[in-house]
Each structure stands twice: as structure tokens, then as C-alpha cells.
Amino acid sequence: MPYHICIDPMLEELYLAGERVAAGLYREITTGREVRLDTEDYLPATHNGRVAEYICIRHTWGQRKAAQ
């Protein structure tokens, strides 16, 4: 069964593979794979025939857990 995270579009902005985005940490929604861009660049494709959707991670999971 594929891994899936539900994202409220009112809270997070979605980015698609191939979009040019600012430097930062991005998480692919369906797989949880994280991509760190050190400079402005394009988000990578998945090469599985599906369009990858990403959210920008402002805090890591560890930082969020520590704040709770």
C-alpha cells in the first residue's frame, strides 16, 4: 500500500516536480522523500509516471517534536 500524507491546501503550498523553487528543504507528499536544495533550482521528477507533489518544510520532524 502506498504511503500517503493528507495535506490541507489552506495550510501548505504545493509544488510540482519541474517547478523552479527557492532554496530549502522539500518533502514529496506520496513517499516522504526529502530533497534539500542549496540554491534556487527545479524540483526533481519521480520517473514512475506520476507527477510528484512537494511541500516546503520549514521545520524538521525533530524540531516539531521538540517544540511539543
8-53, pLDDT tens digit by residue?
A: 555 568 899 999 999 989 999 888 999 999 999 999 998 888 889 9
Kindly report the backbone phi and psi dihedral angles of residue 30, in degrees, each rounded to the nearest multiple of 5, phi listed first: -75, -30
The Cα–Cα gap between 65 and 67 comes to 5
Q: Which residue has the higher pLDDT, 65 or 41?
A: 41
pLDDT of residue 47: 83
Domain boundaries, the chain: 14-60
The Cα–Cα gap between 34 and 26 comes to 6
The Cα–Cα gap between 15 and 43 comes to 8
